[in-house]
Structure formats: structure tokens, C-alpha cells
Structure 1
Amino acid sequence: MGKGFSAISAVDHLGRIARKYPDKLAISDGDLRLTYRALTEAVTRLALLIAAAVPAGQSVGLLLGNCGWYPVAMLAGMAAGRVSVPLNPRDPPRRILDIARDAGLPAIIGLGADGFAAWPERPDLRWIDVAGALHAGDPQPAATLPDAVSVDAPAVVLYTSGSTGRPKGIVNSQRSLLQRVQQYVDAAHINSEDVFLPLSGAATIAGCREVLTALLVGATLHLADVEAVGLRAIRRQFRSCGVTIVYLVPALLRALMTASDDDDFGSLRVVRIGGEKILWTDIALVRKVVSRSCFIQISYSSTETTGSHWFVPVDYPELAACVPAGYLLPGISFAVVDDDGAPVRSGQSGELLIKSMHVTLGYWENGQIVPMTTDRDDPRQRVFSTGDLVQLDERGLLQIVGRKDRQIKINGRRVEPAELEIVLRRARQARDAVAVVTAASELVAFVVPEETAGPDLGPALRDIVRRALPPSLHPTRLHLVAEIPRLAGGKVDTARLRDLDQAMRGTAEPAERADAGTPLNLEQAVEVTWKRILGRADVAGRWDEAGGDSLKLLQCVMEIETLLGRELDLEAFTTDMTAADMIAAVADGQDASPGADRQTGAPPVLFMLPGSVGYGPSLAAFGAGMGRVARVTPIRYPDLVAILDGRGTIAAMTEAALRQINLAQPRGDVRLLGYSLGGAVAFEVAARLLAAGRPVKFLGILDTNVGGAAHHLREAVARTVQRIGAHRVSVYRTACRSVAKAAARLGWERHLAGLLEREWLKHLPDTRFLLRLELEEVLRMRAMGDWLALSKSCLPIKGTLFRCNRPGVPFDLGWGRLFADVDVIAIAGGHLDLVVEPHLAVNRPLVEGAVAATYA
């Protein structure tokens, strides 16, 4: 990367990359896709909006999580010269509000227009909907970007667990972040051909590093929320995206890569592991599922500073249970000292001190920096006492021995037990509380209840913790005890507490993993998996009471899916559920239906591709009524923001549909039903699936005419008359549609979209909604017209056309030339009311019968 890399701002580096690779895919998260040209445009526009909303010298919150808008917002903050404060959307609202207060945030960037509802205690806290704001027209005239932003100024504040009982903000400059990027790129030879899938939280130093590394070399960055999509979907994404570089913590590694028989990870060339201690069994697990040419990189660092890394040789001797943390990185000076600050002898343990100009600038308190200690001889060099007890072996490798304090890392996140203790002690029925860290790096809480405490105190305390603290601070086990054992001097006897935890935990040896071919009913599958994941002899109590966290829950759901042979809805599973709750969640909705899975009773999936208006109430009611024959899954098209970014074509809708289909149903027969414009998208989806060797069992077309342009005017007039005559639309909506059509015809669609975000129009929500809806529909229908003009190949399958009464048009509506065979079924009503009563009573059984016929 060159010696001067960290002296040039990230936005300048991004501009250079965008000029080199303007049309290359930069970011994808399943919904949002940005080329490098589109990324730089979005960064600039959002930077202007931030500059207008956040006064100079103040910070802006990023409540975005692992989505494509997060890197846009972080880079925009740097371009605007404002400090970014990444926030974790999965943290409790109370904690997010505490951080907002501590950071002095005047504004938070998030997704959706209803963010204000989350902040009743802070009416002054401005909410910026990033997706909507970028298409709100030109920002305020007074908003300008600074000519230059110093790479040594505060850039990102990352909040971690604090020993005082409150989150602690750690300030990093661009220079310190770019130094991490440079070390990473130079070590792993990262380049524009790489594909990243970082499985780290956005509000962590690892999340910042992975995002910047990918985008500042011209690579492609894929982002996914593991807890939202599940482990199985993540494994599929490795294969479908051709991921070459991944970062993950050991706990996630074990959950993701265990029992991986498929070639999910064959494209990987670098697996970077960090965040907590790494076992040699973790290395063996990775080597089992990646190619022989894949490198395993171990890293040690903290939010305050970089530390060490190395690539683990295949034949390196396993001298201890844990893998060495690597060689200390260039660009830092270090010392290993004893309790008096004197250097220890070679081979002895001591605390690691690091001195570098890339160490954190300091800590963020009330919107201000509390600077780090600097070197007496060179004020540019800052000194950080890591708190880690280490030793260097004879090869110069760093070995982590322990901590001077009680701090640990859980799933890559820093945890201070004091935060948990303070929350528990504040509980009304708790007299005292202590949290200890076990040898297995588990956080265990002990609570002395008041005499008046009831039998439900344990679950009540867990609920208090859940509302106040992030998941990393939730105790693995919570014990109620008569007193806290103490030493003669009054200090807590942590050794006795650890022994007490072993005696009270009631665990057993983990059960053997059930084979996917073993015949198990639903209850058996849940119970066997519950016991194995938690290492228990029973399934008593709640998941969190039994030592389960959200990551173990994901692993449990994935194994149940494997045993039952079907995928489950992740939203139905929570850490406070019992085994009975889990059984009920798995059983929900699995009534027997034609063509259902013999073991689970779940009906096959029917993917519904809606018309130009999208999946509205009428289609939703239609789909819900087909529940016994098929599980109707709607496909979402790119929205107005994406359409204006050039992703409003039928090809783009097809890409979006394929991503959703592959995530929802990665294998097996596919069934499609397209209405109006959706018929065109369904046809293209089927063509792509067939070309990839995927069987399309059913392709239904709901009244889509591809028979020729001569009929379009007549159809348009007929539909307008039908709309008004049936009272389906008002005159006012017809007027809004006329405005949208005029804007599209004149090429002013961007101007109209910008107008919709003007402040004065926000006071007319109905008008704004109707104009946006009609503009989306008009632009999608324009894409349909473009598609009709293209030549198409005939598909070697049968199509099923459900045809309304259309005088003067071909009987097969033009589909006869596009399928090997077409089955035309006459249905009641017209194009606009075929899925509503009274015609629905006639039409739905016809569709159900055609779909059910494919199950034989």
C-alpha cells in the first residue's frame, strides 16, 4: 500500500478506486447493491446531509448494523468531518440512549421513517432515514464539505463495555484505522479480485477494518446479519458469492463450520480469526472445510490498538491448547513489564504496553476527548497499557496468558463484569450480586435475594438484564445464593464461586450429534439438539437459564432444520423460550397439505412475483388463502431508490428475485406464479434457474399480455375505465398517476422523487405516498415495455396461463411462442379484480388445482 497510505484520507482513497472501477460491484447486502460510482455519489450526498444536520465538532450515530448503508454512512461522516458513533441495533434501547447521551449525539442515521418513535426521552435527537434522505433533493444551501479533513482528527468512536458500569467510548482517527487496513492488505495480499463477507458486528473495530479494507482496494463487500438470516443462509452465501476472505470469532466459527459436508467454503483463500482466544481444535475445524491453499490468519488487537498477527503453518507443533497470537506488528513499539513497570526477563509473563502514533486518541466523554498518555520524548506517540498478560516465546510469537483485570471477550465483544453487577444490584429484590469469569470465558452471575423475593426472581432478573444490557453481557448462568463467599480481607472469593458454579450448573456430557438420516419426530429432534448444544442432561427451564445465548440458538435451529429436512422461521425463536416453546415454534404452521413434506407436513413454497404495484393487500389475502396447497412467499422488487439508481429493469428485478429464492429455498423444485409485470419477471427467473440446472416444476402467469404493442393503448384505456367504474381508484389517485406518467415521460422522475422528500410535502402524507407509489409503478411498467421489445428464447417447459376475458387479443396472450407447451385456463373478472371478491371465489380454486397437479 505504500508508506504514505495512512496519511491520505479514506474518502480520497475511495475516489481513486471509484475512478479505476466505476461500474464494479462495491457493496451488496441482499437488498442494496452499489457500484463504486454509485457508492461515491451516495457518500457525497449523505456527507452534505450530515454537514447540514450536525454542527462541526459534534458526532453522529450510525444505527445501521450489518447492512450496505453502514459503510456509506461511515465514509460520509469522514467526508463531512464529523465523528461517527456506530451503534448496535440489537442493543436494548436504554443502552443506545445512554450512549447517545454520553456521546452528545444531535442526530442518528438509521433505516425507515419511523425512527422518532424509539426516542420519546430525547425529542431533540434528530433521526435521518438514510435511504429516504439520499433521494430528498439537494441539501440545504448552507451545507458544504470541508476542503480537507485531517487523518489525525477523531473519526470513529466505538463504545465497549466499561469497568465503571457504563459504556466506554474509544476514539480512533482515520490514520489509526487506515494503518489497520494497510497491515491487513500487505499481509494477505488483498486486491480488487477479492470478495469479503465479514461476520463481525458493524459497531466493532473489526467491523470498521473489514469494511474499509474491502472498499479501499476495490474488492466486493457482501454484508449479512447472521442473527437475521441464520447460519444456513450464511453458509449458502459463501458459495453463491464466491467469498475469498472472511473474518469471524471462534464461537461463530465453531457454529458455522461444524458438520459442513458441502463445498460451502471452497472459494476461501484467507480465514482471519480473532476477538478471543483460539484453540488448536478451531484450526483443525477450519482446515477440514477449506481448500488446502487457504491461509488461516490469527490476529490479536483491541479497539485501542493493533497488536499482532500471523499465518498458521500447516505443520506448526501444538505446544498448548491455545494458538499463539502471532508476531507483533510493525509500526508499534512494545514492552512487557511487571507490576512495578519494569521489563520482565525473556520468557517471563508481564503486561503488554504498546506505544505508537496509531494507538487510540483517547476516550470520548460528553462529546469531548480525554486524551491518551503520550510519550515524554515524542508527543505523537501514545502509550496504551493493554491489561493483557503475555509472554514472548523463543520464536518471537506472542502468547496470551491472561488479564490483569476481570475483562473478557465474548463472541469478540469486550465485556466488563462490573456492568452486569451494577444492573443486578439495582434490582429491587436483589441484596447483592457478583459476576465471575470461568476458565471457559463464560460470564456467570451470583445474586443474593432479599427475604421477600419470590420464586420467579431468576427469570425476572434475566429480563431486567435483557432490557438494559447487550447480549454479550447476559450471563451464561445465573445462580441464587444465600451469601457471596469472601476472603479474610473482604474481597470476593472468586475461586469458591467458580467451584460453586461447577456444583450448581447441573450439566452432563454433551449428547452425540443426531444423524440427519435418523428417524426422529419433532419433539425428539428439538430435545436431542437442545441437550447437545447446551451440554445438559435435561431440557428444563428457559434457553438462557440453561446457558444458551443467541449464537448457540442459531446453531440449535440449524441442526433442527437438518434433522427435519426443512427451514424454519428464525423470528419465531428467542433466548427466553423453553423447550416446549421451541417445539411449538417448529410445529407452527405445519398442517398437512397436498404435496407436503412427509416428515414435517409443511406445504411446498410457491413464489409470488407481483405486478408493478408490488405485493399489496389483495395479493397478500390471495396468498394467505392458499395456505393448505402452497406456502406463498412474495418476492420484493427494488424500491424507488434502487430504480432511480438504475436497478429498475426486468433484469434487475430478476436478480433480486433469484437472490430471495435461493435464500428461501436453496435446493429442490421451484414453483413460480407471476401476476401482470410479475409474469415477465417469472419467465426470466425460470430461464435463469433452468440454465443453472434447477428444475422449475410450475410456472403460472396471471393475465400478462405479451402478444404485441397494438393492444396496449386499448388495454390502458380499458383498465382506466375499469378502475374508476369499480371504484378501485379515486379521481385524486388518477391525477397522481397522471403526474407520475408526465414526470417519467419528460425524464423528470428524479426531480419528482426529490420533491416527495421536501419538508412541506411531508405534511401531506397521503399525497406523498400516492405519488411515490404511482411513480414506482410507472417506472416498472416502462421497464416492462423495454423487456417486451427484446427477443426471447422458448423455455423447454409447460407454462400455465390464467387468462381474463380480453376481446381482440390472442387466446394465449402471446405466450405460445415462449413455452414448449401452454395450458390456458380461463378465469373470472378483469385484470385488476381477478384476485378480489366475487371473482376470487372462482379463481383461487383454479390456481390451487393447477399448483396441486404438480405434486403428483
Structure 2
Amino acid sequence: MEHTICSAFAARVAEFPSNPAVLGDDGCLTYRQLGSAVAATRKALTDGSGRAAILCCHGANTLTALLAALASGRAYVPLEPTFPVHRLAHILADSRADVLITDAAHADLALQLAPLHDVPIIHIGATSSEVSLEDVLTGLSSPAQPDDPAYLLYTSGSTGEPKGVVQSHRNVLFGIANHVRNFGITPDDRTSVLTSFGYDMAVTDTFSAILSGAAIVPADIRLHGLGHLAQTLSRYGATIYHSTPTVYRYLLASLGPSGRLPSIRAVLLGGEEVVRHDVELARRHFAADTVFVNGYGTTEISFAAQNHLRADAPLDHAVVPIGRPLDGIEIVLDSLTGEIIVRCDHVALGYWGLPELTASRFLDYDGVRAYRTGDIAKRLPDGSLIYLGRADRMVKIRGYRVELGEIESQLAALPGVGQAAVVARDSAHGKEIVAYVVPARDACLEYAAIQLALAEVLPDFMQPRAIVVLDALPIGPTGKLDVKALPEPMMVLANEAAQDSLEQLISGIWADVLGVDRVDGETTFFALGGHSLLMALVQQRLEKALGHPIPLVQLFEHATVSALAAHLRSPVNTNLSHSADRMRRRRQAQAGKRVGSCL
């Protein structure tokens, strides 16, 4: 019998009803309880072959909703709640979803989105211990077939709007079988799920666990911060850790020099370049027999190659190779160094509603379906591959796939912008986006206005960390943009000192985290080059200095020194002067660097 994702899950519910399926602070569910919640949600859905949009909290609620969608015969379309409404509305419209499944925490946002496209709203069902296991399994039966679409995952698109990657049940299960075999996943394992369910990392982490009788350990870093992540991994005994290198480095920095995560038996990094220092960090913070894995893949294939290393393995390269293709997958280069072409019958079905783009990237390669990735690699003498970068203008920002052309399109559409160019530059915090704009005739561009306008249509990781206004874009002899002639962003220094001890404490922490000399009370954290992971470090430092927890969401909602101080001032009763003095002495012992946004 050929399985679908839902039939494979139902088999695990029958086999391991009492095993934990989800372990997290927002809820712990056994397989039977998760199956009960899925079956209850499924009751509200008629059978269909369309798409179900999912707008739920990270973890058990999203998992319940997407499994219910699959049980109904639909493909699921995850909506990331932190994205701008404009982007969510586009995904909802483009996918032509015929139902929106949500939870109580996102009911208001669902009500805002659904009427725009006349989509009915379904709320996830509750678990029930009264439902028999037989009835749960009956509720998980699905009309879906192995070759039907299982999901649409939207990624950045060069045309100015995100594009949907379509994948089938059969192809997902092929990738999951590879992953389970390569990592030896058993019902005793606990797998971290750190990325949004709208990204292929979460697909691999989630289904490799719940289709093996293991448990997922979801953690929402944006909501709770890095300190909470370390606590969650330890509390629930996570055994397999998977994230981008950026999140991994911030996590281990939050542990301190001697902090350890002893339950982790395998560390898997992907989505960005992995370097020798990442392996050295593993030696310091994990058990000696922990396996370190550098994985390579794309949304269109999930994992295509992996390099499994013991933490104490010698390394011959500063950049860790991506290894060799997985079983059933062939990686073809057009020369010793060239574009990666993934040859496998299980690459994605294509791009939703974009037949020309699908035909340009997916091809028949000697009778086998193949995908042109646009990634460049070199084959080493031992046959393994080392990733060298992109052939086009797609970049990875903290593990997220970003088409610079999409940002340029959104900039060019703003009133007063005549021309726009966007590049990715290396910084102390990794790659960051810098935008260059030329005003239209008689137009006056304001940085704050551009920043606010982009925040309405682009997620945080796609927003430029600096915007530079030019009289004209530099053009090379070929008539194309001369990227090398684009100026570095001017570094600006805030010109006001914080006023009271709490503001001094906050601005001191910001200065340390961002690498600036000082910040004023009204410039936003993000305008100074900050992003969500750096904000999580700020949270950790503030909590330590003030001696009480501060929800990460409050730092996002109050993103200037003065606003955050005003918010914290009334409920906080602590010795702020002592904390501020300590931070000031620490800053004075360090050499400051000036960074920032500019116009």
C-alpha cells in the first residue's frame, strides 16, 4: 500500500498512541491527543482537492491544522503571522485557498484577511480523551492520493511577489525516508522545530519526527527569545537540533563559554554557509560523540546533499563542504565548478500558477526530472561538494531565501522613487541588505517614509538595513549597473545621550549588541541595523540586568530606547543605576565601531 502523509501519520497514531508527539511550553500532546485534535478539526472540513491556508501559533496548533487539511484531501498553505498583511493577502489570493484554518490567537488577523477573498474560516478543534482510538483513526482517513499536492510553500520571487513551490505527498515521503534513515530517528528522539512551518526546514523536522513515532520540540524564537530556546531544548530533552548557522551561533553565544546541551546527539545546519568555527563550537557545547551535519537543499527538493562529521573530525577547508548527494539523488555540475542541477524524480511539481518559470527551472535530464538550483558548487578531489554561492541575484539572509529583485520592485513602486537597486553586503552580523534609490524628478525621499512603506509589504528579513539616496545609479561600460561602484553606506552616530539610568542601560546594551558607540532615544533598533535575532540577544541582556523576564514581543512593540524605557519604567523596581554603571564600564573597555543606516 502506498502512503500519503496522513495515512503514514495515522499508522503512527495506531502504533504509538501514548508516545509524546509534541513537547513544548504551549502544549504537550501524545499521538492519540494530536490525532484527536486533527480529527475534530477535520470534521469541520468537507472533502476537497483545493488548498487550505493555515494561520496558527507555531507548534501544536499549526501541526493540527495542516494535518487536518491533508486529511480533507487539501494541500496546506502556511501563513506566517508576523508577515505584513499585504503579503499574507497576496499568498491567500494567489493560492486560491478555499478555507482558512486558524486558532484563537490569530482569529482577529484571520477576520481581517478572509473577507478580502471570501474565504471561510475554520477554527482548530480541541483534543478529547473521550474519543476512542478507532474513531480517531477513522477521522484521519483521507481521500488524498500519493501524487496529489501536499503543500504550497511561498518563497521570495524576483517579479516583486512571492511564488509558491508545490510538492506532492509522494515526494515529501521520499525526502522524509531519507532523513529518518540518515539520522537513525527512532521513537525515542526529540527533534527541534525552530523555523516557521512555511519553510522546508520545518517540513523535514516535523514529518521526520511524527512519521517515526518521535516528538517535535517547537520553539518560537521571535516570540520568546534565545534564552527560552536553550531552556526549551534542555527541558524537553531535544536530541536532534536543526537550524540555520546564524541561529545556531546566537544560541550557543547565549549559553556562555561553559554552557552545554548534553541531550543533543546530532546537530544539523543548513540554509547558509557553514564554517570551521561552527564545528569547533559543537565540540565545546555538545557531547563528544555528537554528529555534526552540514546539509544542502532548496525548497524545491528539501535536502539533496549532506556532510556528516564527528565533532572532532579534522577539517581541511575553512568552509565546510556540503558533502555528497543523498540516496536516490544525483547532483550534476556542468564542469568541475558549475551550477548545481539536482537530478531526481522527487523534485517539486513546480511553481504554482507559473508555467513559464516552472519550465525554465525544471527539466528532463536524460529521462529523469531535474531542477536547476542557480547555486554554484565545486567538486573536490574526494568527490564531495563545496558550496560557492549563487549564479543569480538570490541571497540567503539569516537562512531565508531572498530575491533582491523583489525588494527592488517594491522600492520602485513607491511614490517619489525613480530608480532602485538592492545589494547584499557582508557585515559583522552576516549578510545585510542595502538599498540605493534615485529620486524621481522634483521628489524628496525620506528614510523613515521608505522604511515604513517597505514594512507594509516585506517581512523583516527582507527589509534593507540601510537606504542610500543617489543622484544616479552607476552604470558600467556594458550599460549594466556597476555594483562595485555603489558606495558603502555612510556610518552615522546618534547625537543624543540617553537621559535617565534606565535609558542609559537600554542604550548601552543596544550599543554593545549593534557595535555602535551610542544610540539616541528615538532611532529604532532596526534602523540601526538590528534584526530579530539581535533583538533576542538584547532581551537576554536586559533580563539579566533587570532581574526579571521581559517578553520578546514587548521589545518589538517598543523599538526605540525612549519607548522601551517608558514601557518598562512603571512595572520595574530595581537598582537601575548600578546596572547602568556596570554596562557603562564594560563599554568603555571595548573599542566601539560605528554602524548605522543612512540617507
TM-score range, shorter chain: 0.7 to 0.9
Ranges in structure 1 where 5+ consecutive residues have no aligned partner: 138-142, 338-343, 509-519, 602-856
Q: Give the TM-score, by structure 1 length.
A: 0.61
Of residues 92, 103, 117, the one that matches 1:100 is 92
For residues 391 and 297 of structure 1, the distance between their equivalents in structure 2, rounded to whole angstroms, comes to: 19
Aligned position for 1:555:
537
For residues 120 and 189 of structure 1, the distance between their equivalents in structure 2, rounded to whole angstroms, comes to: 42
Query: Is the partner of 1:43 in helix, strand or coil?
Result: helix
Question: 1:349 aligned to 2:337?
Answer: yes
AA of the residue aligned to 1:267: S
Query: Is the partner of 1:409 in helix, strand or coil?
Result: strand
Contact kept, 8 Å, 1:239 with 1:263, in 2: the verdict is no
Query: Is the partner of 1:197 in helix, strand or coil?
Result: strand
Question: 1:399 aligned to 2:403?
Answer: no
Contact kept, 8 Å, 1:238 with 1:264, in 2: the verdict is no
Residues 613-636 of structure 1: per-residue CA shift (max 9 Å, x gap)? xxxxxxxxxxxxxxxxxxxxxxxx
Query: Is the partner of 1:88 in helix, strand or coil?
Result: coil
Contact kept, 8 Å, 1:548 with 1:575, in 2: the verdict is no
For residues 7 and 268 of structure 2, the distance between their equivalents in structure 1, rounded to whole angstroms, comes to: 27
AA of the residue aligned to 1:280: R
Contact kept, 8 Å, 1:258 with 1:285, in 2: the verdict is no
The 1:368–1:483 alpha-carbon spacing in structure 2 relative to 1, beyond 3 Å, is closer
For residues 27 and 369 of structure 1, the distance between their equivalents in structure 2, rounded to whole angstroms, comes to: 38
Aligned position for 1:845:
none
The 1:493–1:550 alpha-carbon spacing in structure 2 relative to 1, beyond 3 Å, is same
Contact kept, 8 Å, 1:561 with 1:567, in 2: the verdict is yes
Contact kept, 8 Å, 1:69 with 1:130, in 2: the verdict is yes
The 1:376–1:356 alpha-carbon spacing in structure 2 relative to 1, beyond 3 Å, is closer
Residues 435-475 of structure 1: per-residue CA shift (max 9 Å, x gap)? 012245321111123465557x1111111111101122111
Contact kept, 8 Å, 1:445 with 1:475, in 2: the verdict is yes
Of residues 418, 421, 443, the one that matches 1:434 is 421
Aligned position for 2:271:
275
Of residues 527, 530, 546, the one that matches 2:507 is 527
Question: 1:193 aligned to 2:193?
Answer: no
Q: CA deviation at 1:183?
A: 1.7
Residues 81-134 of structure 1: per-residue CA shift (max 9 Å, x gap)? 211111111111110110111111121111125455312752511111114799
Of residues 326, 337, 343, the one that matches 2:323 is 326
Q: CA deviation at 1:158?
A: 0.4
Aligned position for 1:443:
433
AA of the residue aligned to 1:434: A
Contact kept, 8 Å, 1:235 with 1:264, in 2: the verdict is no
Contact kept, 8 Å, 1:522 with 1:583, in 2: the verdict is yes
The 1:494–1:12 alpha-carbon spacing in structure 2 relative to 1, beyond 3 Å, is same
Of residues 384, 395, 403, the one that matches 1:416 is 403
Identity %: 28
Query: Is the partner of 1:50 in helix, strand or coil?
Result: coil
Contact kept, 8 Å, 2:191 with 2:241, in 1: the verdict is yes
Query: 1:630-641 residue pairs with structure 2 within 5 A?
Result: none
Question: Which structure is larger by alpha-carbon Rg, 1 or 2?
Answer: 1
- 126-135 vs 348-357, greater mean Cα deviation: 126-135
The 1:144–1:183 alpha-carbon spacing in structure 2 relative to 1, beyond 3 Å, is closer
Aligned position for 1:175:
170
For residues 203 and 92 of structure 2, the distance between their equivalents in structure 1, rounded to whole angstroms, comes to: 19
For residues 289 and 215 of structure 2, the distance between their equivalents in structure 1, rounded to whole angstroms, comes to: 21
Residues 362-406 of structure 1: per-residue CA shift (max 9 Å, x gap)? 11128999677442653xx32100100101111222111111101
For residues 395 and 447 of structure 1, the distance between their equivalents in structure 2, rounded to whole angstroms, comes to: 46
For residues 446 and 350 of structure 1, the distance between their equivalents in structure 2, rounded to whole angstroms, comes to: 30
For residues 223 and 368 of structure 1, the distance between their equivalents in structure 2, rounded to whole angstroms, comes to: 37
Of residues 309, 313, 319, the one that matches 2:306 is 309
The 1:19–1:598 alpha-carbon spacing in structure 2 relative to 1, beyond 3 Å, is farther
Question: 1:117 aligned to 2:114?
Answer: no
For residues 530 and 212 of structure 1, the distance between their equivalents in structure 2, rounded to whole angstroms, comes to: 39
Question: 1:76 aligned to 2:68?
Answer: yes
Of residues 239, 244, 247, the one that matches 1:249 is 244
Q: CA deviation at 1:46?
A: 2.6
Residues 642-700 of structure 1: per-residue CA shift (max 9 Å, x gap)? xxxxxxxxxxxxxxxxxxxxxxxxxxxxxxxxxxxxxxxxxxxxxxxxxxxxxxxxxxx
Of residues 344, 350, 355, the one that matches 1:362 is 350
For residues 240 and 285 of structure 1, the distance between their equivalents in structure 2, rounded to whole angstroms, comes to: 21
The 1:598–1:484 alpha-carbon spacing in structure 2 relative to 1, beyond 3 Å, is closer
Q: CA deviation at 1:315?
A: 4.4
The 1:420–1:504 alpha-carbon spacing in structure 2 relative to 1, beyond 3 Å, is same
The 1:396–1:563 alpha-carbon spacing in structure 2 relative to 1, beyond 3 Å, is farther
Of residues 80, 86, 91, the one that matches 1:88 is 80
Q: CA deviation at 1:317?
A: 4.1
Query: Is the partner of 1:304 in helix, strand or coil?
Result: coil
Of residues 446, 454, 458, the one that matches 2:447 is 458
Contact kept, 8 Å, 1:507 with 1:535, in 2: the verdict is no
Query: Is the partner of 1:275 in helix, strand or coil?
Result: coil
Query: Is the partner of 2:431 in helix, strand or coil?
Result: coil
Contact kept, 8 Å, 1:448 with 1:484, in 2: the verdict is yes
Aligned position for 2:293:
297
Contact kept, 8 Å, 1:8 with 1:151, in 2: the verdict is yes
Equivalenced residue count is 558
Query: Is the partner of 2:526 in helix, strand or coil?
Result: coil
Residues 237-272 of structure 1: per-residue CA shift (max 9 Å, x gap)? 122111111211111112211051465512111111
Q: CA deviation at 1:59?
A: 0.7
Question: 1:127 aligned to 2:140?
Answer: no
Residues 273-318 of structure 1: per-residue CA shift (max 9 Å, x gap)? 1111112222222322212122211111000013211222344444
Contact kept, 8 Å, 2:64 with 2:124, in 1: the verdict is no
Of residues 563, 567, 573, the one that matches 1:581 is 563
AA of the residue aligned to 2:457: A
Q: Give the TM-score, by structure 2 length.
A: 0.86
Contact kept, 8 Å, 1:542 with 1:575, in 2: the verdict is no
Asked which structure has the greater RCO (Cα within 8 Å, sep 6+), the reply is 2
Q: CA deviation at 1:523?
A: 4.0
AA of the residue aligned to 2:116: R
Question: 1:504 aligned to 2:494?
Answer: no
Question: 1:494 aligned to 2:483?
Answer: yes
Aligned position for 1:47:
42
Query: Is the partner of 1:400 in helix, strand or coil?
Result: strand
Query: Is the partner of 1:232 in helix, strand or coil?
Result: helix
Aligned position for 1:570:
552
Ranges in structure 2 where 5+ consecutive residues have no aligned partner: 132-137, 495-499, 581-599
